[in-house]
Amino acid sequence: MTSGAGPVERQLRASVAHFAGPARAVATAVVGIFGVVATPGTALPLAFGLLALTLVAGVVDVAGGPRASFALSVLRAGAVGAAQPWLGSVPGEASLWAVNVLTLTAITWQWEHPPRVTVPALVVLLATGFFAGSGAWLPVVPRVVVESVLARLAFVVLLRSTARTDAARAEKAAAVQAAALDRDRRRREREYLALLHDTASATFLAVASGAVADPAAVAGYAAHDLAVLTGGHDPGAEDTPLDLEAGLRMVLAGRALPVEARWTPVPLVPASAALALLRAAEEALRNAERHSGARSVAVHLDPAPGGVTVTIADNGAGFDPAAVPPARRGVRGSVVERMRIAGGTAEITSRPGAGTTVTLRWSCAWTTGADRRGHADCAARRHRGVHLASWGGYDCDAEVVVCLNHRPGSPRPPGSCCSASPRSSSPP
C-alpha cells in the first residue's frame, strides 16, 4: 500500500485486496469443475488431482496471505497449463481449462501486485503453456498479454481517479480550515477592538473629561489596561464589564428585517457573558431572517435580578422545537449551548403559525442590590460618558457619569458582579 495514499485510494486498495483473492478462488473452482467434466476418461485421475490443487489454492486465496496466495496461484496455473496434452478434448486446440485459469490469474494479479512481480510470473506461465500446448498456444499469448495490460490500465485509471478525489477533498478541507481560521482571526480582532474600546479608550476619555484626575488612579487604570491588552489578565479572576446595549445596537445595525428595539437601562455585563449574549442574539436574528418569513422582529433589553434579559421575538411562521433534528446545531449550539457555557440560559418558545420568541438570560449570583441600583441609576441619568465599575458607590455627573471604583491598593469588598475592571467603555 502506498504510504502517501489518501483515504479514498487506501479504501480502494483495501477493497481490491479483500475481494480479488476470493473472486479468483471461486472463478477458478468453477472453471476446474467444468474442466473435469470435459476431460477424457483416461485422464480423470489427473483432472481430479488438478481440481484438488485448485481448491487448495482457492482456500489460500481466501484465507492466506498475499505471498502464499501468489505462490499457489503460480503453481495452479502452471500445473493446469503443463497438463494440456492430457486435458484437451479437441486435438490441436489449447485446453480451455488452462487458458481460462491463466486469464483469470493474470487479470486479478494486476489489481493485487505490481508489474515487477506479475510480469516475470506471466512469462514463466506463458512459456510453460507454450511448450505443453505447442502451436495451439500461440493465439493464447497475445490474448493474455492484452487482457493483462487492459486490467492494469483500468486499475491505474481508478487509482488516479481516487488520487484526484483525495486531492480535491484535501483542498476543500484546507479551504474550510483556512476560512475557519480567518473567521476566528476576524472574531479575535473584533473582540480585541472591543477590549481596546473598553480599556484604554475609556481611560483616555475619563482623563480627558476630568472624571479621573488622581495621577495614582490613572496609573492604576493604565497598568490594568496594559495587563488586559497584553494578556497578563487572568480571565478567571477578572472579566472586563461591557455595555451590552452598545453591543446590541451594533448587532441590530443593517439587519435584513425591520427591528423594533426597546432599551431599558441595565447593569454592565462581564465580557464573556456579553459576547455570549451578543452572539446568541445575532444567531436568533439570523434564524428569523432566513427561516421565519416574518415582516419584522422585536428586540428588548431588560434588567433582571443580578443580570440582564434579551428577548428576540418575530411574527413569522414559527416551528415545533421538539421536532428539530439533533443534527441541526443552529439553535442548540449557537444559542442554547453558548448561553449555557457562559453561565446563562436560553429559552425558545415557538409553535407553527405563532412566531418565535428567544429569551436569553444571564445573571451574576453574587451581585448586591446596591450594585444593581447604582448601575441602573447611573444608566438612567447618563447623557454621554464613561461607566466605571464600582464597589463603593456612584457619582453621576450631568455630562460624564463616573461609577467610582476602588483606588489601587485598597481591599476589594466581596459582592460585586462588575468588580473586575476599573470601568467599562462609553457607548459608541
pLDDT band at 334 (very low <50, low <70, confident <90, very high): low
DSSP three-state, residue 302 = strand
- Determine contact, residues 22/61, Cβ cutoff 8 Å: yes
- Using alpha carbons, list the distances in angstroms from residue 144 to 23, 89, 123, 390: 18, 21, 11, 91
What's the whole-number mean pLDDT along residues 368-388? 35
CA–CA dist 186, 241 (Å, integer): 21
Please state the pTM of the whole predicted model: 0.46
Cell for 354? 405563532
157 contacts: CB under 8 Å, gap ≥ 6: none
Q: At what angle do helices 140-198 and 115-133 cross, to 10 degrees?
A: 170
Q: What is the pLDDT of residue 425?
A: 34
Maximum alpha-carbon separation in the chain: 121
Alpha-helical runs (H) found in 199-243: 200-208, 215-229
Of 29, 30, 19, the C-alpha closest to 108 is 19
The answer, yes or no, to whether residue 403 has pLDDT greater than 50, is no
User: In whole angstroms, what separates CA 12 from the centre of its chain?
Assistant: 24
Strands of the sheet containing 259-263, edge to edge, are: 259-263, 297-304, 307-314, 356-363, 345-350
Q: Are strands 395-396 and 259-263 parallel, antiparallel or unpaired?
A: unpaired
Of 67, 72, 155, the C-alpha closest to 111 is 155
CB-based burial of residue 256 (10 Å sphere; 0-12 exposed, 13-18 middle, 19+ buried)? exposed
| Interior/surface letters 191-223, b for 16+ CB within 10 angstroms, e for the rest | eeebbebbbbbbbebbbebebbeeeebbebbbe
CA–CA dist 301, 267 (Å, integer): 11
pLDDT band at 371 (very low <50, low <70, confident <90, very high): very low
pLDDT band at 296 (very low <50, low <70, confident <90, very high): confident
**Least confident piece of the model among 231-245, 253-267, 407-421:** 407-421
pLDDT tens digit sequence for 245-272: 888 888 888 787 888 888 888 888 888 7
Of 104, 105, 129, 127, the C-alpha closest to 118 is 105
Place of cell 422585536: 298
CA–CA dist 330, 347 (Å, integer): 14
Strands of 325-379, DSSP E: 345-350, 356-363
Question: Residue 65 phi/psi, 5° resolution?
Answer: -80, 170
Q: Average pLDDT of the chain?
A: 75
CA–CA dist 312, 304 (Å, integer): 16
pLDDT tens digit sequence for 100-143: 999 999 999 998 899 999 999 999 998 888 888 766 778 888 88
CA–CA dist 137, 157 (Å, integer): 31
